[in-house]
Amino acid sequence: MSIQFSAPGRYLQGPGLLSQLAEHTAPLGDRALVLISPGGYRRMGASVEASFAKEGTAAVMDQFQGEPSLAQIHRLQRKLEEHRCNLVIGIGGGKILDAAKAAAHLARLLVAVCPTAASTDAPCTALSVLYTDEGLLDRYLALSSNPQLVVMDTAVIAASPVRLTVSGMGDALSTWFEARAAACTKPVSAAALALAHRCWQVLQSDGAAAKRDLERGVLSPAVERIVEANTLLSGIGFESGGLAAAHAIHNGLITLEECRSRCSHGEIVAFSTVVQLFLEDGPAAEREEVFSFLAQVGLPRSLEQLGISPCGETGLRKAAEEACSAGSPIHNMPFPVSPQAVYQALLAADGEGRRYS
């Protein structure tokens, strides 16, 4: 078997980058369809349009609303053809970025993504999540390539709710532990493992300080390092390293409405990571390190903090069954994992985690 390493074509990070956006996208295309929410347009639209005017390239603004559904993607394709655009740019949250990546993929155009929060590691990846018009998960669309450009304007990100960046830390937390497990069952490049491990190191050294700085409205070096860890290190680390039990358990827990409606992706992944550590039955000191980190940055350490009653055996067993379903990344673990083992690990993680609450 061969190894793979995937990464965006170019990654830019720093304050004020959106006001210079056209300078960085000009090498990719001179007529861009720019997806941005109505709220984002009110806050940033004039600055983005001014950058295109200064550069002498064109921007067709699309105030995107709704879901990244097939109907919306087809609408965007028609707009791309109508305006003869040769580049797609997404500015905003995950759904806008998913729509931009999918529209560019189906139109065989290049894409640049500009997240306005550091809440997940998805921006750098060759994957788009599509939903129905009603907001239900439709499919995962594998793309032909990673985005050609990722732009992280940290001034914009620092102004987003602190919870979003902390949630991104929860998603990034799983990267090293899942890549380490997956590497036992498939070839993983040394580069991917190194980036995944570095991601965990940055979370430990800078996570708590970054949260404090964001709460004070300070764009500090710690914040910059956490934005990079949440987005670039975790994005490359998971895509080239692999998923394992943590994301599988997340997929089980989101079948429980009380959890899904209360917590973000990263918050659920954070707790699911310690559940994976209990499945592995590794050193207690490592689990203590992770629980301490969760407590320092305010990520969930117990089922109750996810909105789940530990006494709700039926729901927990349902989540455990889903985590072990066919095709689940839990089968990337270096040993067989049963629903009963997941159920017991959920209870063990909850019992230990309540000591840190």
Task: Report, as an integer, the average pLDDT of 309-320.
Answer: 91
Structural domains counted in the chain: 2
Question: Which of 96, 130, 158 is a domain's end point?
Answer: 158
Q: Return the pLDDT at 135.
A: 82
CA–CA separation, 96 and 36 (whole Å)? 7
What does the DSSP assignment read for 134-187? TS-EEEEEE-SS--SEEEEEHHHHHTS-HHHHHHHHHHHHHHHHHHHHHTTTS-
Shared domain for 214 and 142, answered yes or no, is no
CA–CA separation, 228 and 247 (whole Å)? 21
The pTM of the full predicted model, rounded to 2 decimals, is 0.95
Query: What angle is formed at CA 186 by the lines to CA 177 and CA 200, rounded to 5 degrees?
Result: 20
Active-site residues: which are they?
A: 171, 247, 250, 265
Domain contains 48? yes
Residue 145 burial (10 A CB sphere; 0-12, 13-18, 19+): middle
Domain contains 326? yes
Residues 6+ apart with CB under 8 A from 294: 170, 173, 270, 271, 274, 300, 301, 353, 356
Domain contains 103? yes
Shared domain for 188 and 98, answered yes or no, is no
Shared domain for 182 and 281, answered yes or no, is yes
Shared domain for 329 and 232, answered yes or no, is yes
Task: With beta carbons less than 8 A apart as the criterion, state whether 219 and 305 touch.
Answer: no
Confidence class of residue 300 from pLDDT cuts 50, 70 and 90? very high
Shared domain for 152 and 167, answered yes or no, is no
Domain contains 51? yes
Question: Which of 119, 141, 158 is a domain's end point?
Answer: 158
Q: Which residues pair with 32 in a beta bridge?
A: 59, 87
CB atoms within 10 A of CB 16: 11
Confidence class of residue 17 from pLDDT cuts 50, 70 and 90? very high
Q: Rounded mean pLDDT of the chain?
A: 97
Q: For residue 14, give both structure tokens.
A: 């720093």
Domain contains 6? no
Confidence class of residue 153 from pLDDT cuts 50, 70 and 90? very high
Q: Which residues pair with 31 in a beta bridge?
A: 58
Shared domain for 189 and 51, answered yes or no, is no
Task: With beta carbons less than 8 A apart as the criterion, state whether 168 and 230 touch.
Answer: yes
Domain contains 1? no
Shared domain for 168 and 154, answered yes or no, is no
CATH of the domain at 23: 3.40.50.1970
Task: Report, as an integer, the average pLDDT of 219-230.
Answer: 99
Shared domain for 108 and 201, answered yes or no, is no
Task: Report, as an integer, the average pLDDT of 208-237.
Answer: 98
Q: For residue 342, give both structure tokens.
A: 């997941």
Q: Return the pLDDT at 137.
A: 78
**Domain limits for position 206:** 162-356
Q: Return the pLDDT at 200.
A: 99
Question: Which of 139, 158, 177 is a domain's end point?
Answer: 158
Q: What is the pLDDT of residues 319-334, one digit of tens each?
A: 999 999 999 999 999 9
Domain contains 4? no
Give the β-pairing of 127-131 and 137-142: antiparallel
Shared domain for 238 and 301, answered yes or no, is yes
Indicate the Cα dihedral angle 28, 30, 36, 41, nearest 10°.
130
Confidence class of residue 85 from pLDDT cuts 50, 70 and 90? very high
Q: Return the pLDDT at 337.
A: 98
CATH of the domain at 285: 1.20.1090.10
Shared domain for 264 and 194, answered yes or no, is yes
CA–CA separation, 232 and 199 (whole Å)? 9
Domain contains 37? yes
Shared domain for 344 and 229, answered yes or no, is yes
Shared domain for 175 and 127, answered yes or no, is no
